[in-house]
Amino acid sequence: MFSIQPEPFSSCAAALIEALDSWQNALYPVESQYCTDLTALQDDELILVMARDAQGRAAGCVSLLIQPEGCGELKRMYVAPEYRGQKLAERLIAAIERQARQAEIALLRLETGVHHHAAIRLYERLGYRRCDPFPPYGNDPFGVYMAKPLALSTSSSAPSRCESTR
């Protein structure tokens, strides 16, 4: 049993992100790591969703960087190894997508690494498709760029003007 909900950035989130960074440091050169410092963002730029186990321990996290033009970028997705295999990543993505829809974000994008095979399969299974690099990314041989349009309520305003998928 997990609780999955938005939370302010905390030491628990920092510990998960530190574990993510440590894992990625072994896979990618420094110039191919795009580790956004979530603490440097304003509250209106970021939504953090945490997963906690029944005892309240941090099990995973994902964040949404809110961008102009109705776009958002998934950042810092991570599930601690001891919690993997329980569909927690799927539940975190579903929760952050709900938050994105509430914020009237029409297109979600993400950057992940070529060595993150399980993550790429997960994103594809959840409807994300490969796309061209988007700002601030360039053509990085270690990068995989993906996007997913979100269905918004009919009361939403103008459609997203973000770049589309390929």
Strand locations in 44-106, DSSP E? 46-53, 58-67, 71-79
Residue 157, pLDDT > 80, answer no
Read off the pLDDT of residues 78-111 as tens digits, 9 standing for 90 and up.
999 999 999 999 999 999 999 999 999 999 999 9
Q: Where are the domains of the chain?
A: 2-149
CA dihedral 85, 88, 90, 95 (to 10 degrees): 180
For the domain made up of 2-149, give the CATH fold: Aminopeptidase (3.40.630)
pTM for the model: 0.86
Helices (H) and strands (E) in the chain, counts: 3, 7
Nearest to 94 by CA among 142, 62, 133, 65: 62
Structure tokens at 131: 């796309």
